[in-house]
Structure 1
Amino acid sequence: MYSVSVRRNFIAQHYLIGGDWGPENELHSHHYVVEVLLEGKNLDPHGYLIDIDDVSSHLDSLVAYFKDKTLNKLPEFETANPSLEHLARIFCKTLIQRLNAQNLSAVSVKIWENEMVWAGYQEAF
């Protein structure tokens, strides 16, 4: 199985709802790190799993959308808590829709909110 990974970082704000999580219930910022892992069994005729520039471009666009925003105010979180888990799912599903990669068998996204805490989401085809 071949793997390709691309990382980016961005700062965004949020507050958690629906529970008593102390300071997490108040508006605060995170320096997020997002890592996309793409996997597949076969390479294209040029020896690539996927065009890394294409992945980077789509990831940059997605990061730009969330960068410096309050996640709670975005349509993606109208009915969902802006948790790491939901954010990872949104990144993953959006990238799958945007990428044209017949060679992929799985896409996963991990998002760190600090050096020790991350959540992820994966889809296999």
Structure 2
Amino acid sequence: MFDIFIDTHFAGAHHLRDYPGDCEKPHGHNWKVKVTARATELDRCGMAIDFKVLKKIVKEVIDKLDHNDLNTLPYFQDKNPSSEHIARFIFDEVSALLTNKNHSLRTVTVLETDTQGLTYYGNQDHGGELR
């Protein structure tokens, strides 16, 4: 198996409803994002997934978040735009766009700063393996 990743970023504003502190106030971040896909086989060119293809898919999803007030987006109407929910949003959206049966999304890592972040592994019902 091969794990292929790309790093990207986006800027956005948000606030955490009912948070007991400063994060309840509107503020912004320059989030860093790492998206890792898994492939079971190589294509005829010897690649697991073309970086260009993965970057295009991820860009399509990141563009929905970039330079927006995340609280106003439909996905975050009933949930806080925390890094956890942002990672899940990116994971679900990218997964839906990865249509090759030899590829699956492995992880999405979201960093609010250079020193803090999290990794989302998606649905663990499949043990992190290809569906």
**Whole-angstrom CA distance in 2 between matches of 1:119 and 1:25:** 20
Alignment of 1:29-108 (within 5 A): 29-108=28-107
Secondary structure of 1:36's partner?
strand
State the 1:56 CA deviation. Answer: 0.7
Structure 2: unaligned runs, 5 residues or longer? 123-127
Asked if the contact 2:9–2:33 (Cα under 8 Å) also holds between the matched residues in 1, the reply is yes
After TM superposition, what 4+ stretches of structure 1 lie above 4 angstroms from structure 2? none
2:17 paired residue number: 17
Secondary structure of 2:5's partner?
strand
Choose 60-69 or 40-49, whichever is displaced more.
40-49
1:28 paired residue number: 27
Secondary structure of 1:17's partner?
coil
Structure 1: unaligned runs, 5 residues or longer? none
2:125 paired residue number: none
String of CA shifts for 1:16-49, please: whole Å, max 9, x gaps.
11331x1111000101011101123321222111
Q: Across the two proteins, how many residue pairs are aligned to each other?
A: 124
**Whole-angstrom CA distance in 1 between matches of 2:105 and 2:8:** 19
State the 1:100 CA deviation. Answer: 2.1
> Taking structure 1 as the reference length, what is the TM-score of the superposition?
0.91
Q: Aligned Cα RMSD in Å?
A: 1.4
String of CA shifts for 1:23-82, please: whole Å, max 9, x gaps.
111000101011101123321222111122111111112222111101111001011111
Identity of aligned residues (%): 26
Asked if the contact 2:98–2:104 (Cα under 8 Å) also holds between the matched residues in 1, the reply is no
In structure 2, relative to structure 1, the CA distance for the partners of 1:121 and 1:29 (3 Å cut) is: same
Secondary structure of 1:66's partner?
coil
State the 1:105 CA deviation. Answer: 4.8
State the 1:106 CA deviation. Answer: 4.4
**Whole-angstrom CA distance in 2 between matches of 1:101 and 1:32:** 28
**Whole-angstrom CA distance in 1 between matches of 2:97 and 2:74:** 19
